[in-house]
Structure 1
Amino acid sequence: MDYDKLVQVMRDLALEAGDRIMEIYNADDFDVKVKSDDSPVTEADEAADALISAGLRAAFPDVLLITEEQAASHGKNADTFLIVDPLDGTKEFIHRRGDFTVNIAYVENGVPTRGVVYAPAKNRLFYTLPQGAAVEEVLYLGQDKHVVGKLGQINEIKVSDPNNSALMVVASKSHRDQATDDYINKYAVKDMKSAGSSLKFCLIATGEADIYPRVGRTMEWDTAAGHAVLQGAGGKVVRFDDHSPLVYGKEGYANPFFIAYSPDVSLKEA
């Protein structure tokens, strides 16, 4: 894989999709439908998916593409593949809370090695450089508030050096439950914040939080891009049950429960 090309294409497609999403987000109204699994989907999900899929297939025609919005792709498997959630955090989008992201990732032998997470409502863009290090790009905004295409300031990001007697925890905004709280209560917590979508991975990658436990259903397209960014910043993502690495390319692309964290956090047993 030409990583320079990959990173450029993923970054540019995420920004283009983000612009399209924000056009719909800022409209007076938008269509919301319900998928077969009872999860919501909007015209923004579909528009972003069409844009990203076309761009990735044109640039990398020989690489398998898995995307949330194309159910036919969910039955395909390969060691190496691209995986997309064109709008992660649809519930946050519908309620106009801003915590939604565009996620694009490249998985090699079960590991997300490159990825981009773009939160267009927050003007925050995170991605891995060609060599794998994670960065946050400071975006240039035009007078119309759209992102200007030129490259912004690139800041390398690193996970925190956590204080295990005063941890910063981030948890899901829409999927918080008693099991999550019970696990968090095993730690000495200084403060806790809620965030939607894959932003939780990025808050650990920047050192704004130390640990994110997820005791609930997720799919690989929800996590792969954030996982890649966190890994590029020195973080880890492990299974909740046995603390082994979270791997990708599983049948059906469903994840087990997991923990994302800065490696110096002393993990507690489930």
Structure 2
Amino acid sequence: MDYDTLFTVMRRLALQAGDVIMEIYDRDDFDVDRKDDDSPVTAADRAADDLISAGLRVAFPDVPLVTEEQSASHGQDVSTFLIVDPLDGTKEFVKRRGDFTVNIAYVEDGTPVRGVVYAPAKKRMFLTLPDGRAVEEDGALDPDTVGDLAPISVSQPDNAALRVVASKSHRDQATDDYIGKYATADSKSAGSSLKFCLVATGEADFYPRLGRTMEWDTAAGHAVLIGAGGRVVRFDDHRDLGYGKADFANPFFIAYAPGVDLKTA
């Protein structure tokens, strides 16, 4: 993989998709349909997916592509591939809460090594450089001109006063019970893959997810977190979370800054 080209293409497509999403988001009204699993889908999901998928296929025709909105791509048996969630946090989008993101990632031998997470309503973009380091881009966020790139890094956690971030739409009693095993000084909620980014920037120390997710939900945020010095491990045995699993479904997991004393279930 040419990582310089990958950086340019993923960044540009994420920003262009964000523009498409916001054009629909800013309308007075938009239709919300339901998928087979009863999760919501909108014209913004589909339009962003069309744009990103077309761009990636032109730029990287020989790399397998997995995307949430194309069920035909979900039957592939791959360990190195591009993976896309064109609008992560559709529930947040529908409720107009702003915590939704565009996620594009490159997985190599089962590990997400490069990624971009763009929150168009919040104008925050997190991405990995060609060398794998994670940064947050400041400035106008122009698809054709790269702005200021500020390195980001995970925190040095204080296990006596940890800061936790959890899902805004999917937090449940099991999650609260697990968080209760830690000495926490602060707890916040966020939608979509922004939770990974809050750990990557040091704004939170860990993010436990005790619920269903798919690899397209997590790969881009996971790549950014790795680039910032963090880890994502399986909830049950604390082994690294791998990608290219059957049906691209994730087990429960914990994203964290090294130094957090992880608790067992």
**What is aligned with 2:98?**
98
1:250 counterpart = 2:220 = no
Once the 2 structures are TM-superposed, how far is the Cα of residue 139 of structure 1 from its aligned partner? Answer: 2.9
TM-score by length of 1: 0.97
Distance 1:103 1:182 in 2: 29
Provide the secondary structure at the position in 2 that maps to 1:5: helix
**What is aligned with 2:209?**
214
Once the 2 structures are TM-superposed, how far is the Cα of residue 78 of structure 1 from its aligned partner? Answer: 1.5
Distance 1:148 1:113 in 2: 22
- Of 193, 198, 212, which residue of structure 2 is paired with 1:198? 193
**What is aligned with 2:3?**
3
**What is aligned with 2:14?**
14
**What is aligned with 1:153?**
148
1:138 counterpart = 2:138 = yes
The one-character-per-residue Cα deviations of 1:179-211 (angstroms, maximum 9, x if unpaired) are: 000000000000100000000000000000000
Distance 1:66 1:79 in 2: 11
Counterpart AA for 1:179: A
Distance 1:201 1:43 in 2: 26
RMSD after superposition: 0.8
State the percentage of identical aligned residues: 74
**What is aligned with 1:28?**
28
Counterpart AA for 1:95: K
TM-score by length of 2: 0.99
Counterpart AA for 2:57: R
Distance 1:243 1:148 in 2: 38
Distance 2:175 2:139 in 1: 34
**What is aligned with 1:226?**
221
Once the 2 structures are TM-superposed, how far is the Cα of residue 148 of structure 1 from its aligned partner? Answer: 6.3
The one-character-per-residue Cα deviations of 1:231-255 (angstroms, maximum 9, x if unpaired) are: 0000000000000000000010000
Distance 1:148 1:74 in 2: 29
| Kept in 1: contact 2:15–2:143 (CA 8 A) | no
Deviates more, 1:240-249 or 1:148-157: 148-157
1:239 counterpart = 2:231 = no
Which runs of 5 or more residues in structure 1 are unaligned? 142-146
| Kept in 1: contact 2:163–2:184 (CA 8 A) | yes
**What is aligned with 2:86?**
86
**What is aligned with 1:179?**
174
**What is aligned with 2:63?**
63
Once the 2 structures are TM-superposed, how far is the Cα of residue 150 of structure 1 from its aligned partner? Answer: 1.8
Counterpart AA for 1:65: L
Which runs of 5 or more residues in structure 2 are unaligned? none
Distance 1:136 1:123 in 2: 11
Q: 1:254 to 1:148 in 2, by over 3 A?
A: closer
Distance 2:145 2:53 in 1: 23
Distance 1:79 1:176 in 2: 30
- How many pairs align? 265
Provide the secondary structure at the position in 2 that maps to 1:54: helix
**What is aligned with 1:144?**
none
**What is aligned with 1:129?**
129
| Kept in 2: contact 1:158–1:207 (CA 8 A) | yes
| Kept in 2: contact 1:139–1:148 (CA 8 A) | no
